Amino acid sequence: MTFQDQLITLRKQQGLSQEQLGEKLGVTRQTVSKWELGVTTPEMDKLILLADLFHISIDELVGRKIPDTHNETTDNTKTPPPVREIRYVPYQWHYEYKSRRTLFGLPLIHINVGRWIPGQKRCHAKGVIAIGNFANGFLSLGGIASGFLTIGGLSAGFFSLGGLSVGLLLAVGGLSVGTIAVGGLALGIFAIGGGAFGIYSLGGAAVAQKIAAGGAAQAAIAIGDAASGEITFDINNQVPPSVIRDAILTRFPGTWEIIAKIFSHVI
C-alpha cells in the first residue's frame, strides 16, 4: 500500500477529517490533501508525528517492506536474526469532550486537557463551563483560566482563584489583584494578605491610603504593633472598638459601616 493510501485509511479509521488531522500536526487541511493526492510528501518531523499518532512505525506508514533474504542463504550460512527497529515514542495523552448543547453559540461544557506536544494545537477549552490547559468560559478551570468565575495557576475574571489571580470583584491567590484581594501579596481597594496594599488593608505588613491594620501598618488611620499615620492605635492596648469606629467615621465620614466595624474589632 502506498503512503497516500495508507494515510487515507489510517485517518478514516481514526474518524478524523483532513482539517482535524492538520490541526493535530500543525499544518493546513490543504497540506494534508496534497499528501493524500501524492502531490507532496511530509517532512521527517511530520512523518514522526504521524507514526506516533497512528502508533505504527515509519516503515509501515510509508509502505516499505523489509526484503526477505532467507531463501538466498546457503545451507551452510545461518540467517542472521531480523533487526527490530526500536523507537522512543514520547508519552502523550489527550482528552476532549464538547457537549452538543450550546448556549449563546458556546458549548455548554467543553473539556480539553492533555500533554502539549510541540507542533500540535494546544489544549484550549472554550465553553460555558470550560476545563482545559487553557480555559475560557463563564466557569473556567485550567492552567490559564479566564472568564466570570475562574480557577487556575493563572486566572483572570470577575471572581478569580489561582497562584496569580486577577479579579474584577474578588481575587484570591498567592499574588492577587482585585477590588477585594486576598493573598500572600494582595493589591486592591480592600486588601488582605501577608503583604497588603490598598485603600483599606489588613495584613502582616499593611499599607493603605485610608485605613491599615496589621503587624506593621501605615495609613492615615493605622492600627498595629508598629503603626504609622495621622491617627494611630497600638494593637497591644485595649482600645474600645467604639473609639476606633468613631475615629474612622470622623476622619472619613463616607466610610461604609461594615468597613468601620471590621477595623474597629481588630484590637
What dotted CATH number matches 3-65?
A: 1.10.260.40
pLDDT number for residue 237: 83
Q: Residue 57 in contact with residue 87, Cβ under 8 Å?
A: yes
* Cβ atoms within 10 Å, residue 57: 13
pLDDT at residue number 89: 47
Query: In the chain, which stretches have pLDDT less than 50?
Result: 72-74, 89
The reported pLDDT for the residue numbered 10 is 86
pLDDT reported for residue 84: 55
CA distance 143 to 135: 8
> What confidence score (pLDDT) does residue 2 get?
81
Instruction: Tell me what pLDDT residue 86 has.
Output: 52
Q: Any idea what DSSP says for residue 123?
A: -
The Cα angle at residue 117 between residues 122 and 144, in degrees rounded to 5: 35
Which H or E run contains 45?
helix 44-54
Domain spans in the chain, listed from the N-terminal domain onward? 3-65, 94-264
Q: How far apart are CA 184 and CA 172, in angstroms?
A: 9
Which DSSP symbol is given to 115? -
The helix (run of H) or strand (run of E) holding residue 102 is strand 102-103
pLDDT of residue 251: 93
